[in-house]
Chain A
Amino acid sequence: MIRAQNIALSFDGKTVLTDISVSFAPAKTNLIIGRSGSGKTVLLKCLIGMLEPDKGEVWYDDDQFTAFNPDQQRSFRQQMGVVFQGGALFDSLTVEQNLKLPMDFFTPWKRDQKKERVNFCLEKVDLPGVNRLYPAELSGGMKKRVAIARAIVLNPRYLFCDEPNSGLDPQSAIVIDKLIREITVEFGITTVINTHDMNSVMEIGDHILFLSEGQKCWEGSRDDILLSDNKVLNDFVFASELMKKFI
């Protein structure tokens, strides 16, 4: 369980997040949605400690993450897996080395055990046999899948994904969505996903937080989202012609 309480943050006097409180349950795909610039990524960065909120608290189960010092936060992050928008794979390392890096640092495993874990994670994301390729040799979708494999390599309790299917074709986007959901349920991970893709919302949105101009505007499930009478939410949800057909 991840709990954010009254999170507020400003940059140079400009308010980016205002008093956001939300809980994210384990084994569920929790989505943060909203227009570009609504504060989704900033909230995600506050949750993982890459940004320090001006006000508010972040709790991971019984641990108050925001009360930790930077070293404690860094150490705690070993329980997190993060998938960045562009994948953020290390260019100079092969796929296998990318996946091995966190294991080299934080596990006492032998070489064979690491190799086995790498292969397991790559199979999980349906990419067996790409161990020796460099990120530059992978397609956008493959990069995202390798990034997911790297994020789960240490069996994280919490998984964060920043727009995991941005820049992908609709079919690849669905593959990524399903993959994240499968991993979340199978390993009981608390997953938080930033997205503005309505397909993802309808596909995997167990719990949805809608942000608008840095404020919590609506919260509910994918079943509720089409029935909401929140005008700002409806403007966002039914922006496309495809979604208008649901009305």
Chain B
Amino acid sequence: MKLLLNLGRYLMFLRRVFSRPEKPGIYIKKVLREIDRLGITSLGIVAIISFFIGMVVIIHLTANLGNPLIPDYYNSYTTRDVLVLEFSSTVLCLILAGKVGSNISSEIGTMRVTEQIDALETMGINSASYLAQPKIIGMMIITPALVLLSIFIGLIGGWFISIAGNLMTGADYIHGIRFEFDSYKVFYTVVKSIVFAFLITSISAYHGYTTQGGALEVGRSSTLAVVNSMITILIANYLITQLMLG
């Protein structure tokens, strides 16, 4: 019953968020600012995680699939698919749910408990739309770019350790990542990342916006935002995979 109540409130919140903006020009500037603040500042962590995961995946595959009957390039081929299909979209978005989700929720939650949201409302500004819409749109634009970058850096990580660790030749590695390349899988991962970005930002904004109380509740909202974003990402991941690849 409580789940349905929250779902209803979340949908009503989204209705307010996506109502027509009072001044679209202000929103466009804010979208660009949010792309920078939420997305570009995540580049470092995305690059580091992707590079190391790319290295680790190929080490695992080489160690566990080492068989004279399986060509070496199968390891890089599998690494590519691991990165494209799951890691760079799902796992990366789970990480972003922690970083970006808690940031959004605590920012909006603090604004709620310090009456800044009330101040916006009393000025006649649609606070839900003004605060959440630019973040949602900004993240939906930048997350696919982060995911594609993550795939690229992960593949570079795999290539680096293949050469440095003498796991296979550079030529084999390149052959593997180009082997049976299907652009639909990239399209699938981009679709997933857009949906995940929407879920992370809208759920986190909702939890921040509905915070009541003080600093303790802001922390609680932030935790709820991250946990609920992660759960919905996992559910959405299953549904999208079933729909697009099942």
Contacts and interface: CB of A to CB of B under 8 A. Distances in A.
Interface of A: 48, 50, 74-78, 80, 82, 84-86, 88-91, 101-102, 104-106, 160
A104 B118 contact: no
Contacts of B23: 104-105
A111 B116 CA distance: 24
Interface string B106-144: 000011001110110111111000000000000000000
B119 A77 contact: no
Contact of A88 (B22, B26, B114): B114
Interface in B73-131: 110-111, 114-116, 118-119, 121-126
Contacts of A84: 115, 118-119
Contact of B123 (A89, A91, A102): A102
Contacts of B119: 82, 84, 88-90
Contacts of B121: 50, 74, 77
Interface string B15-31: 00000001100100000
A85 B126 CA distance: 21
A105 B123 CA distance: 9
30 contacts: A50-B118, A74-B121, A74-B125, A74-B126, A76-B124, A77-B121, A77-B122, A77-B123, A77-B124, A78-B124, A82-B119, A84-B118, A85-B115, A86-B114, A88-B114, A88-B115, A90-B116, A91-B111, A91-B114, A102-B123, A102-B124, A102-B125, A104-B23, A104-B26, A105-B23, A105-B26, A105-B124, A106-B22, A106-B124, A160-B122
Contacts, number: 57
A86 to B, nearest CB: 6
Interface of B: 22-23, 26, 110-111, 114-116, 118-119, 121-126
A206 to B, nearest CB: 23
In the complex, the 3 A-B pairs of residues with the closest C-beta atoms, listed nearest first: A88-B119, A82-B122, A88-B115
B122 A48 contact: yes
Contacts of B126: 74
Contacts of B123: 77-78, 82, 101-102, 105
B122 A80 contact: yes
A190 to B, nearest CB: 15
Nearest to A78: B124
A74 B129 CA distance: 13
